[in-house]
Amino acid sequence: MDKSELLRSLSRIEFWRDWFFAPLVAIGIIGEVVLGWIYVTRSKALHAAEEDDTRSLNLSIETLRKENLKLESRLAPRSLSPQSSAFIMNAMKVFPNQKFDILWYTDDQDSINLAQQIAEILTDAGWTLDRSDEWLGFGLVMGISIEFAPSKSAEFEPAADALAAALTEEGIIAVSNANPEQDEADRFPDRIRIKVGKKP
């Protein structure tokens, strides 16, 4: 191949290089940049979506956990820890020799156990238990109702209110109220009556 042929060959190669392959390379570079940008953008979107899914899943798990704890709390029997018992006992010591009666549902072990526990706390606090041989049975009592005769409000209401507040403070729902029925002679107006009802 002589010099002129070599020049023509090189010229043809330069032509194909400059007008065909060079644009292809440029297109390839542009394509790589564009596709790389699309890939990065969509990878970020995918990562964000996965994070959203993870947050939603964690939120669902936490919601289910809280609902399960609420269900367990509703099903668990009521009770007072030693610390709670000591707190209530100390709060009730300011009402020494307070006469009281306590009633419960004989067919409800939760009511029985809690009534016995409260009776022990109050006797340890210096209150006087005077059982009346009555039980809860007719009518529905929810939580704990601490009752006294309206005519004895000045005498019994402070202790009844304090007991209801102490029990509620320790997680046992309790209310105090004057019960007109207790003013009747055969309804024991001489004492506070604690009715340990069903768990709310």
Sign of CA dihedral 56, 69, 194, 187: positive
Q: Are residues 104 and 178 in the same domain?
A: yes
| 1 pLDDT tier (thresholds 50, 70, 90) | low
Instruction: List the domain range (segments joined by +) for residue 47.
Output: 1-76
pLDDT over threshold 60, residue 21: no
Most confident of 4-18, 50-64, 143-157, 173-187: 143-157
Residue 127 has phi, psi (to 5 degrees) of -80, 160
Q: pTM score, two decimals?
A: 0.66
**Do both 121 and 72 map to the same domain?**
no
Q: 165-177: b or e for each residue (b if 16 or more CB lie within 10 Å)?
A: ebbeebebebbbe
Q: Tell me: the pLDDT tens digits for 64-123?
A: 676 766 655 566 899 999 999 999 999 999 999 999 999 999 999 999 999 999 999 999
What Rg value do the Cα atoms of the chain yield, rounded?
41
Regarding whether 59 and 119 lie in a shared domain, the answer is no
pLDDT in tens, 25-63: 667 677 677 667 777 777 787 788 788 777 877 877 777
107 and 16 inside one domain: no
**Could you give the number of structural domains in the chain?**
2
Average the pLDDT over 115-139 and give the result: 94
Tell me the sheet residues that pair with 192. 100
Pair 111, 184 in one domain: yes
